[in-house]
Structure 1
C-alpha cells in the first residue's frame, strides 16, 4: 500500500487537472514518487487521466467519505456509532470478523474494497466514488438461532433510507437484494446485504452486516458484472424533481440512523414487528417464481407470504413449502402455467 495514494486522490477528487510538479511540491516528494502513487491507484482499478503539460485528473469529481459529515447525518443517534473509515481493504466484513472485542455498533466503511464479498461466493464489485461499501457489527443478547429474518430487517432500513432520499423505484427481493424493476418486472440490482454471524447458537452473538450500494458505476464496470445492475444516481434521475447526485456521506449517515432504529426494533420484537412493512416492499409478492436452491435444484411456484421468522412461503406443486435459503428467479417462468400447476 502506497501511503501517498489516497492523499493524492483526495486532491484529485475535484475532477480538475493537477500537475505532477504541483503535487510533488505539496507533498514535498519527487515527481517519481507521485508517479509511483498514481500507478498504485491505477492498480486498484482507479481510472486517472494523465496529460503531458497538464498533469493528472479523475474522470469526474467524487465525494470522499468524511467521518464528521457521516456522523452529522446520523443525527441524535450518532452516539451509538463507532465509525471507522479505511482507504483500502479487502473486505469490510472480513475486517470486522477478524477484529477481537469490537465495540457494539462499530461501522467500518471503505473507499475501496479489493475483494468485496457477495452472496453465494460472489464478489461485490466496487470502485472509488462509484459505490458505498460498509459493514456494521451489532451485538445481540440472543443466540444466532434467533436471528432468522435479520437480513430482511436490514432491507427495511435500506428502503426507509431510499424513500427519505426521494428514491421510490426500489423494491426488495427476498432475502437480501434491492432491485429496480423494469416494465417486465425484471430487476436490476441496486444494493445487496451480506450477514455473517459470530457466537453461539443460544448465547450472545454478533452480526456483521455488510451492505453494498451502487452509486454511480461507469459503463465498463456495469458491463463487467454478471447480472443486470443499476446505480443510485441513475435511479434517482428517473424522478423529475431529483437531478442532484446523492452524496455518499449523507447516504451512509442516513442509513446508519435507520439501521439503529430497525435493529433496536428487531431486538425487541424480532422480524415479526417488521414483517408487514417488508412485504409492502417485496417485488415478487404473489408472483410466479423459480426458486434456485443451494443444492442446484429448482422449484417452481407462487410466492404466497413471508413467515414471522423471515422464511419464504411458496405455493408449489407439492403444496406450501418453506424456504430459508435460495434465490428467486423469473427466468423461464410462465405466470399462468405456474398458477395452473399449483392450483391457484
Structure 2
C-alpha cells in the first residue's frame, strides 16, 4: 500500500479500514517494516510514506513479489542462523505446513553434500530452505533435487550473460564454476515421506577474493557474470526462485518427471561426459549416459556394463 502511494502519504486510518485492523496494529506493522530496513516517514495528520522505493531483503519484500499459491506464504526470515535446513527441521517436526520457507541473510554453519562446509557470508547470497510434504514414495525424492535445479536456472538465467548449466546431482554452474548448491534432506518411513527439505545456497554478490584461495577456480557468483545493465536484486531473485519452483514441482508431483527431466537434461553439463565416480578411496572411470526418472545417474563403465548411481553414494569428478 505504501509503495502504491508513490511519493504521497497514506493515512493510518485508511490503512486500518482497508486491512480491517486496529490503528495500533498498523503502527506495529510500520515498526516491523522499519526494523526490516524500510525508510518510512510518519507525519501527524498526513500519515505514512515510503522514502525509498528500494525493496529491502526480508520477509515483507520477498512475499510482496510472490506469485505462488503456497510456497513462501509462510516465510521465516532470519539475519543469521547456523543452517536454514536445521531451522526448517525443527519447524517441520513441529508441524509446519507444506510450502514453508526459511531464508537467512547469513549462515554460520552452512552445509553442502556429504557434510562439506558451504560459505554463507552475510549480504553475499541467498540461503534458503523449502519444506515440502509430497505424497510420493521415498525413492522418488531425489527427483525433487533435479526440479529445484531447473527452477533455480529459470530464475537466474534472465540476469546472466550466459546460460547456467546443471552438474548432476545438485550444482548450478556458471562459466563452468559452481554458483549454487542444493541439499535435499528427508524424513520418511518405508513407503511414505513425512517431509522433504530442499536447501539452496546461491552465491550472488561474492567477489573472487571473497572465496578461499582453494575455491577460486571452482566457485563463482552471479555478480561476476551479469548481462550488461542487469541489476542483481536478492529480494526479487529469492521470490523468483520460489515462483519458478512451485510449477516445476507441481508438474512433477501431478504428471510425473518427464517434462522436468527433459529440461534438466537440456541444461545438463554432465551427460555425455567422461567422469570419475569417487566412493571412499575407490575411483571408477565411467561415461555419463542418462538420468532416470528417480534421479539416478546412469553411467557406462569401462567394461561396457551400465550402472545406476544414487547421489548419496558417490561424488562426481570430470576426467
**Which residue is 2:74 aligned to?**
82
1:277: how far off? Answer: 0.8
Of 126, 145, 148, 1:132 maps to 126
Give the Cα separation in 1 of the matches to 2:66 and 2:35: 26
**Which residue is 1:40 aligned to?**
none
Give the Cα separation in 1 of the matches to 2:229 and 2:85: 33
Of 225, 235, 239, 1:249 maps to 235
**Which residue is 2:44 aligned to?**
none
1:81-230 superposed matches below 5 A: 81-99=73-91, 100-166=94-160, 168-181=162-175, 187-223=176-212, 226=215, 228-230=218-220
Of 308, 311, 320, 2:296 maps to 311
**Which residue is 1:287 aligned to?**
273
**Which residue is 2:26 aligned to?**
none
Give the Cα separation in 2 of the matches to 1:180 and 1:192: 12
Residues 96 and 80 of structure 1, relative CA distance in 2, 3 Å threshold: closer
Which structure 2 residue ranges, 5 or more long, are not aligned? 1-32, 40-53
Give the Cα separation in 2 of the matches to 1:172 and 1:216: 20
Give the Cα separation in 1 of the matches to 2:139 and 2:293: 14
1:328: how far off? Answer: 2.1
Residues 245 and 9 of structure 1, relative CA distance in 2, 3 Å threshold: farther
Give the Cα separation in 2 of the matches to 1:224 and 1:9: 36
Residues 259 and 9 of structure 1, relative CA distance in 2, 3 Å threshold: same
**Which residue is 1:234 aligned to?**
224
Residues 148 and 228 of structure 1, relative CA distance in 2, 3 Å threshold: closer
CA deviation digits over 1:172-202, x for unaligned, max 9? 0000000123xxxxx3110000011013231
Give the Cα separation in 2 of the matches to 1:310 and 1:76: 25
**What SS does the aligned partner of 1:137 have?**
strand
Which structure 1 residue ranges, 5 or more long, are not aligned? 1-6, 15-61, 182-186, 334-344
Paired residue total? 267
1:253: how far off? Answer: 0.4
State yes or no: 1:268 paired with 2:254.
yes
1:161: how far off? Answer: 1.0
1:8: how far off? Answer: 12
**What SS does the aligned partner of 2:67 have?**
helix
Give the Cα separation in 2 of the matches to 1:245 and 1:125: 23
1:278: how far off? Answer: 0.5
State yes or no: 1:329 paired with 2:317.
yes
CA deviation digits over 1:255-301, x for unaligned, max 9? 001111111112113433311111000012211111223x3311112
Greater shift, 110-119 or 284-293, is seen at: 284-293
RMSD: 2.6
Give me the TM-score of the superposition, normalised by structure 2: 0.76
Give me the TM-score of the superposition, normalised by structure 1: 0.71
